[in-house]
């Protein structure tokens, strides 16, 4: 029965019964030659004339037996004459047979070193087991190269030093050296294929015209105060609108000039936690060639409590007055109407100071307790106009740097108490109602007038004079407008003037950060707020 449960037919097992049927008779032995030698002889006779059954073989007629070749040895190739330039070859042998001259030492090539990206890559190495032809010993297996060791780990960069630590400046290559360097330098560790030297990495950028040295002060000794802010001004939630930042920085470029402006809290105010008393305003009115740029610098009174607020009000109010008349002012500047400019700007300045006095009355303060010095520059955006107009009231400085030499352009003002010009009503002139032709209608009855019970106080000191100057700039000039905090050391310390002249003489104006560093160049004995405005002529 099969595995599927079927009963097979009787005839399917006949072959098995016939093969192992015990009733079948044995065939018995035979007389035919059927040994291994007999079969070899039979095969040799059928090969050809070299066999014993062919012509010339051992057929019983006295022939000579031929040598039977070894079946393990392949037939020899036909002989070929060796060329004169070919070296003699060793007799042919089987691949597993040693050479006749004995084993000779072999020299294996070292594994190739990692190639540099700048050197051409070597030809590919054949895989293990491939044959390398052309050797004297016949085709030999190629050994796999040993694994290339991993590169050593790159050391971690040193930690960034803390502020107390001193970091030396990085070495810089000259500009001429940097210009000859290739555009795409080789990576670190690459080797020149010709010389075997390791080229240096890319050099840092050479210092540009706006870079600054590490000089922090001029003079024999460093200043007493720290160079960085120490304390913040105290305030209340109701006074947040009156806060001023420690530093203000601004800049622009119009026409043929570049403008830089910075205002920095002084070292003394930084140490005591007082607000910056200087205020800075940079603003543009109009557009295109008719645009007018105003830069206003105000310095509050030193002993006044709200000096920083008065300075901010002075800048804001003069800015509003100039903005409402900017079209006429820009036209007068381009036309060179000096007299019109002076009278018009003086009226605008008087109105601004009138608002300061009114504000002082609202606060219950005296006029001198809520006031500020004000100095302004007016610059036209027209490239054809190089007239620069200065006006203001109070202390400060106006300087020009030309050919590396400073010149003080502060306008001369009359000495206090000096009387100049025509007499005006109420000051140096007789009363209009006096004299025989006066307008007095009352009659002199000869009654003696009693002395006044009030003692007349001396007249108040004259107000600060109005300053005005209009000048034409030349290419390469640098005009500097500054508050008292920078004007005084610039006039009193020659080293500061020389250092700033050296930094600002190059044709390219400094960047904002470099100009701020120049403004903060410290001098011992001068710790007030500093505000500076520089104009570089192209």
Domains, the chain, ordered by start? 245-409+464-537 (3.60.40.10)
The chain-wide mean pLDDT, for the chain, equals 73
The Cα 347–Cα 321 span in angstroms is 10
pTM for this predicted structure: 0.56
Report the pLDDT value the prediction gives residue 294, as an integer from 0 to 100: 97
Report the pLDDT value the prediction gives residue 430, as an integer from 0 to 100: 45
* Mean pLDDT computed over 5-28: 60
Report the pLDDT value the prediction gives residue 483, as an integer from 0 to 100: 96
- Please provide residue 448's backbone torsions phi and psi, each rounded to the nearest 5 degrees: -70, 135
* Mean pLDDT computed over 290-300: 96
Report the pLDDT value the prediction gives residue 316, as an integer from 0 to 100: 96
Q: String of b and e for 302-321 (b: at least 16 CB within 10 Å)?
A: eebebbbbbbbbbbbbbbeb
Tell me whether strands 247-254 and 257-264 are parallel, antiparallel or unpaired: antiparallel
Identify the residue with better confidence: 156 or 180: 156
The Cα 351–Cα 366 span in angstroms is 18
- Please provide residue 227's backbone torsions phi and psi, each rounded to the nearest 5 degrees: -80, -10
What DSSP line would sit under 335-365, residue for residue? HT-HHHHHHHHHHHHHHHHHHHHHHHHHTT-
The Cα 513–Cα 506 span in angstroms is 16
Tell me whether strands 522-523 and 217-218 are parallel, antiparallel or unpaired: parallel
pLDDT exceeds cutoff 70 at 125: no
* Mean pLDDT computed over 108-126: 51
pLDDT-derived band at 305 (thresholds 50, 70, 90) equals confident
Q: Is 464 exposed, middle or buried (0-12, 13-18, 19+ CB in 10 A)?
A: middle
Would you give the end-to-end CA distance of the chain in angstroms?
A: 117
Which residues does residue 373 pair with via DSSP β-bridges, in sequence order?
299
Closest CA to 66 of 46, 51, 48, 53: 51
Helix, strand and coil in the chain, % to nearest 5 = 25, 15, 60
* Mean pLDDT computed over 399-422: 77
pLDDT-derived band at 308 (thresholds 50, 70, 90) equals very high
Identify the residue with better confidence: 443 or 361: 361
Identify the residue with better confidence: 6 or 189: 6
pLDDT-derived band at 458 (thresholds 50, 70, 90) equals low
pLDDT exceeds cutoff 70 at 528: yes
Residues 264-282 pLDDT 10s: 999 999 999 999 999 999 9
Question: How many of the other CB atoms lie within 10 Å of CB of 359?
Answer: 19
Say which range, 54-58, 251-255, 322-326, has the weakest mean pLDDT.
54-58
- Whether 480 contacts 398, CB under 8 Å: yes
pLDDT-derived band at 17 (thresholds 50, 70, 90) equals low
pLDDT-derived band at 44 (thresholds 50, 70, 90) equals confident
């Amino acid at each position: 029965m099969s595995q599927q449960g079927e009963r097979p037919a009787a005839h399917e097992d006949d072959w098995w019964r016939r093969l192992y049927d015990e009733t079948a008779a044995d065939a018995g032995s035979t007389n035919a030659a059927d040994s291994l030698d007999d079969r070899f002889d039979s095969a040799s006779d059928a090969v050809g004339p070299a066999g014993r059954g062919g012509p010339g073989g051992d057929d019983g007629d006295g022939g000579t037996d031929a040598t039977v070749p070894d079946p393990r040895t392949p037939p020899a190739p036909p002989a070929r004459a060796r060329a004169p330039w070919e070296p003699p070859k060793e007799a042919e042998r089987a691949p597993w047979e040693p050479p006749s001259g004995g084993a000779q030492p072999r020299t294996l090539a070292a594994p190739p070193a990692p190639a540099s990206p700048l050197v051409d890559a070597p030809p590919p190495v054949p895989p293990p087991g491939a044959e390398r032809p052309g050797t004297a010993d016949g085709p030999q297996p190629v050994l796999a190269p040993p694994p290339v060791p991993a590169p050593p780990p790159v050391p971690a960069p040193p930690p960034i030093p803390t502020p107390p630590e001193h970091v030396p400046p990085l070495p810089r290559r000259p500009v001429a050296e940097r210009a000859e360097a290739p555009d795409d330098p080789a990576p670190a560790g690459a080797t020149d294929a010709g010389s075997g030297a390791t080229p240096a990495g890319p050099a840092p950028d050479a210092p540009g015209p706006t870079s600054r040295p590490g000089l922090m002060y001029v003079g024999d000794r460093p200043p007493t105060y720290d160079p960085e802010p120490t304390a913040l001004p105290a305030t209340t939630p109701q006074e947040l609108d009156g806060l001023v930042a420690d530093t203000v920085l601004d800049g622009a470029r119009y026409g043929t000039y570049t403008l830089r402006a910075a205002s920095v809290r002084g070292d003394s105010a930084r140490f005591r936690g007082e607000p910056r008393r200087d205020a800075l305003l940079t603003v543009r009115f109009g557009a295109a060639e008719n645009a007018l740029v105003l830069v206003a610098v105000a310095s509050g009174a030193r002993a006044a409590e709200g000096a920083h607020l008065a300075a901010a009000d002075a800048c804001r109010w003069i800015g509003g007055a100039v903005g409402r008349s900017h079209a006429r002012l820009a036209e007068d500047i381009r036309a060179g109407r000096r007299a019109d400019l002076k009278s018009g700007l003086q009226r605008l300045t008087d109105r601004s100071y009138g608002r300061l006095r009114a504000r002082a009355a609202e606060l219950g303060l005296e006029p001198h307790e809520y006031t500020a010095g004000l100095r302004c520059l007016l610059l036209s955006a027209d490239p054809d106009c190089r007239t620069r107009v200065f006006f203001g009231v109070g202390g400060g400085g106006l300087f020009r740097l030309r050919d590396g030499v400073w010149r003080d352009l502060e306008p001369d003002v009359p000495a206090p108490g000096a009387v100049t010009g025509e007499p005006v009503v109420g000051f140096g002139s007789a009363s209009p109602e006096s004299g025989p032709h006066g307008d007095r209608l009352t009659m002199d009855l000869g009654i003696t007038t009693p002395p006044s019970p009030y003692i007349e106080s001396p007249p108040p000191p004259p107000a600060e004079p109005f300053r005005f100057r209009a000048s034409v700039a030349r290419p390469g000039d640098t005009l500097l407008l500054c508050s008292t905090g920078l004007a005084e050391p610039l006039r009193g310390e020659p080293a500061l003037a020389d250092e700033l002249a050296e930094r600002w003489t190059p044709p390219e104006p400094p960047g904002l950060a470099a100009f701020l560093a120049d403004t903060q160049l410290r001098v011992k004995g001068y710790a007030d707020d500093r505000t500076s405005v520089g104009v570089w002529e192209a």
